[in-house]
């Protein structure tokens, strides 16, 4: 069965300890388990002290068949940051929003440029989501309509440059589906409401609980933020759209992305967030799934 592992963010040493605690052993240059397979939910680059080691560890496991991995928004940002047009020129201006999180990754790989480019090509062969034996794995948000649209456009087992150019340049339906899948659904605040985080930075949007229908909720109830608190103000009807909630009978879905430093990883009997905020002194978390239809708290490993 599967051991689903949350955002690693360059913490190769902690990842090795977690794998060993679950019975994985290193042989022939990669970790493996006799009866189980690891599944990484994305975001294995950036932030941590051993990014190159982490990428190689994850890739070696995937290439050997002892693990599966999907792309997180950090890997996708790295791919887009390096995307070139047909003439070999950078497709997008290297925006600071991509550059700043990538600085540490780029610095670690600076002495190994060919290796880094090879890793980026490999990342483009990874899926954005998985459906495995009745469970689902996605980096940030599972919406059936988004997944169906991505399936229509990702048909060759890799992210083609033409596809990446489409999703990086506009706000089309395909682009929205792409970014919601890897970054979740950000809820825009009304123009007269501004929220500040603990560093004094202002925010006009917040990460929302994508699995819920926001109608009738207040900002605090809908927020899935780790950086700042929202007030318990009723969301004005004119800015509060309706969306289909994730159903109680839908398959178990595992995801990362949201930096849950405090609180339970299991959010509903079939919804589990495995990002326990390792990048902010939290923990690396896994869920050991063995075929159960409802999640069990005792299967969480940290």
CATH value at residue 156: 3.60.21.10
Same domain, 141 and 221: no
Q: Look at residue 294 and tell me whether its pLDDT is greater than 80.
A: yes
Of the three residues 242, 264, 280, the one that is the final residue of a domain is: 242
- 178 in a structural domain: no
Q: CA end-to-end span of the chain, whole Å?
A: 18
- 95 in a structural domain: yes
- 61 in a structural domain: yes
Same domain, 67 and 106: yes
Q: What's the average model confidence in pLDDT over 163-186?
A: 90
Q: What's the average model confidence in pLDDT over 161-167?
A: 89
Confidence of residue 242 (pLDDT cuts 50, 70, 90): confident
Domain count, the chain: 2
Same domain, 158 and 207: no
- 58 in a structural domain: yes
The pLDDT tens digits of the residues spanning 38-50 come to: 999 999 999 999 9
Look at residue 115 in the predicted model and tell me its pLDDT: 98
Same domain, 65 and 148: yes
Same domain, 50 and 112: yes
- 179 in a structural domain: no
The pLDDT tens digits of the residues spanning 75-118 come to: 999 999 888 777 777 766 655 566 778 999 999 999 999 999 99
| CB 143 within 8 Å of CB 180 | yes
CA distances, 239 to each of 157, 188, 189, 213 (Å): 38, 8, 8, 13
CA distances, 237 to each of 2, 190, 194, 204, 215 (Å): 42, 11, 18, 17, 8
Look at residue 146 in the predicted model and tell me its pLDDT: 97
Confidence of residue 72 (pLDDT cuts 50, 70, 90): very high
Same domain, 96 and 215: no
Of the three residues 242, 266, 284, the one that is the final residue of a domain is: 242
Look at residue 112 in the predicted model and tell me its pLDDT: 98
Same domain, 58 and 95: yes
Same domain, 129 and 260: yes
Look at residue 169 in the predicted model and tell me its pLDDT: 73
Look at residue 239 in the predicted model and tell me its pLDDT: 75
Same domain, 100 and 143: yes
- 70 in a structural domain: yes
The pLDDT tens digits of the residues spanning 275-292 come to: 999 988 899 999 999 999
Look at residue 86 in the predicted model and tell me its pLDDT: 72
- 121 in a structural domain: yes
Look at residue 277 in the predicted model and tell me its pLDDT: 93
Look at residue 275 in the predicted model and tell me its pLDDT: 97
The pLDDT tens digits of the residues spanning 102-161 come to: 999 999 999 999 999 999 999 999 999 999 999 999 999 999 999 999 999 998 889 998
Look at residue 93 in the predicted model and tell me its pLDDT: 60
The pLDDT tens digits of the residues spanning 228-238 come to: 899 898 888 77
Same domain, 123 and 218: no
Q: Look at residue 20 and tell me whether its pLDDT is greater than 90.
A: yes
Give residue 39's domain range. Answer: 2-169+251-301
What is the pTM (predicted TM-score) of this model? 0.95
Same domain, 237 and 286: no
Q: Look at residue 200 and tell me whether its pLDDT is greater than 70.
A: yes
Look at residue 166 in the predicted model and tell me its pLDDT: 86
Same domain, 73 and 134: yes
Instruction: Provide the pairing of β-strand 271-273 with 252-255.
Output: parallel
Per-residue H/E/C for the chain: CEEEECCCCCCHHHHHHHHHHCCCEEECCEEECCCCEEEECCCCCCCCCCHHHHHHHHHHHHHHCCEEECCCHHHHHHHHHCCECCCCCECCCCCHHHHHHHHHHHHHHCCCHHHHHHHHHHHCCCCCEEEECCEEEECCCCCHHHHHHHHHHCCCCCCCHHHHHHHHHCCCHHHHHHHHHHHCCEEECCCCCCEECCCCCEECEEEECCCCCCCCCEHHHHECCCCCCCCCCECCHHHCCCCCCCCCCCCEEEECCCCCCCCCCEEECCEEECEECHHHCCEECEEEECCCCCCCHHHEEC
């Amino acid at each position: 069965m599967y051991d689903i592992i949350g955002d690693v963010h360059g913490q190769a040493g902690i990842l090795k300890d977690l794998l060993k605690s679950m019975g994985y052993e290193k042989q022939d240059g990669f970790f493996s388990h006799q009866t189980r397979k690891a599944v990484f939910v994305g975001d294995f680059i950036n932030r941590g002290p051993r990014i190159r080691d982490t990428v190689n560890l994850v890739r070696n496991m995937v290439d050997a068949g002892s693990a599966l991995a999907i792309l997180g928004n950090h890997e996708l940002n790295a791919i887009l940051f390096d995307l070139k047009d047909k003439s070999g020129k950078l497709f997008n201006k290297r925006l600071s929003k991509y550059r700043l999180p990538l600085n540490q990754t780029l610095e670690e790989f600076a002495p190994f440029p060919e290796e880094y480019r090879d890793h980026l090509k490999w990342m483009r062969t990874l899926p954005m989501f998985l459906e495995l034996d009745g469970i689902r794995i996605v980096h940030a948000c599972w919406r059936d309509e988004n997944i169906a649209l991505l399936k229509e456009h990702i048909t060759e087992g890799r992210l083609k440059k033409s596809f990446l150019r489409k999703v990086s340049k506009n706000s089309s339906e395909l682009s929205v589906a792409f970014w919601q899948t890897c970054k979740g659904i950000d809820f825009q605040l009304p123009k007269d409401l501004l929220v500040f985080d603990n560093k004094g930075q202002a925010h006009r949007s917040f990460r929302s609980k994508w699995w819920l229908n926001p109608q009738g909720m207040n900002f605090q109830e809908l927020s899935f933020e780790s950086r700042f608190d929202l007030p318990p103000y009723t969301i004005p009807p004119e800015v509060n759209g309706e969306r289909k909630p994730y159903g109680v009978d839908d398959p178990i879905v595992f995801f990362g992305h949201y930096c849950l430093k405090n609180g339970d990883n299991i959010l509903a009997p079939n919804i589990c967030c495995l990002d326990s905020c390792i990048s902010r002194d939290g923990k690396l978390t896994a869920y050991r799934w063995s075929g159960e239809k409802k999640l069990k708290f005792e299967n969480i490993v940290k």
